[in-house]
Structure 1
Amino acid sequence: MTLTLAQAAAVLAAQPFSSLIGARITAFDSGSATLEIPIRDELRQQFGLVHGGVLAYAADNALTFAGGSILGPNVLTAGFTITYLRAADGERLRAEATVTTATARQALCRCEIYSEAQGRDPILCAAAQGTTRLVQPS
């Protein structure tokens, strides 16, 4: 079953933690997904930068939505790794994920996370790779 952007947005909205973070899905197509998170003070660490856990959340969900665009809506993250490249600051985070390869039950995906602010080019602040796995609903 292929989801539309509106259906993917409804799935994201059904996740209470995603609502708490303020995430929204801005692109969803076969093999790719983009999430955006507005940066606000509650998402910062002690030095005023975006907390690494927020970047990890963005990677996790973007990877899984990208995988779900191929495998269908019943997917979970099987695992991922993230590399923090630069401190994240600005107005919003944008996590762009794409499927690298997929089988009938799992998808290997990559994600790049950018911090964005008006008047400057986006800054690549983290990169991740992970596997999304098809699960049977209980």
Structure 2
Amino acid sequence: MRREAPIFQPKDPAYAERVRASFERQPAMELIGARIIAVEPGFVEIELPHRDDITQQHGYIHGGIVGMIADNAGGFAANSLVAAEASVLTVEYKLNLVAPAEGERLVACGEVVRPGRTLIVTRADVFAVKGGQWSLCATMQQTIMVLQGKAERPA
């Protein structure tokens, strides 16, 4: 559910493959069952199917899990714009949980607000999808630090 946003030019022509490979190196995303469903310059969508083992006492997907996928959607949106020899790291985010994360799946839509050489500002919205209806359950603003020349750990 992409908003109308500025079109950014990635510094790495192979950005999509690099972003997907980086996502695959995160055991935490595998643990919760999340997957990337869209990668564009400055934009990433992550899908998380509902599972009982990631819910809280009311049966909603836990807010910490909602924060994980929002953080990754924004972070990988930022990652899509950096050079191949750089990596990114979250330095802060503010998450508002605006409704219960209740549905068959969650979709986190992350996008770059302002790219920078050292810091990238992103935002992400997380939607609970139930019966084909998308309902906003969380919104996040984030600051990402670009790590020039800092590779990620090998696969």
Query: TM-score, length-normalised on structure 2?
Result: 0.82
Change (3 A) 1:5 1:26: farther
1:105–1:134 contact (8 Å) kept in structure 2: yes
In structure 2, the residue matched to 1:65 is: 76
Percent identity, please. Answer: 33
**What is the aligned counterpart of 1:9 among 20, 26, 31?**
20
Structure having the larger proportion of residues in helix: 1
Change beyond 3 A, Cα 1:31–1:130: same
1:42 to 36, 53, 62: 53
Residues 1:112 and 2:125 are matched in the alignment: yes
Shift of 1:14: 1.1
d(CA) in 1 for partners of 2:46, 2:62 = 17
CA positional deviation for 1:7: 3.3
Distance 1:121 1:23, change over 3 A: same
Q: Please report how far the alpha carbon of residue 4 of structure 1 lies from its aligned counterpart in structure 2 after TM superposition.
A: 4.1
Q: Shift of residue 23 of structure 1?
A: 1.0
The runs of 5 or more residues in structure 1 that have no matched partner are: none
Q: Deviations over 1:55-105 (max 9, x none)?
A: 110111111001111124500111100000000111111000111111112
Runs of 4+ in structure 1 off by over 4 angstroms are none
Q: Which residue of 1 aligns with 2:150?
A: 137
Q: CA RMSD in A?
A: 1.5
The alignment covers a number of residue pairs equal to: 137
- Structure 2 unaligned blocks of 5 or more: 1-11
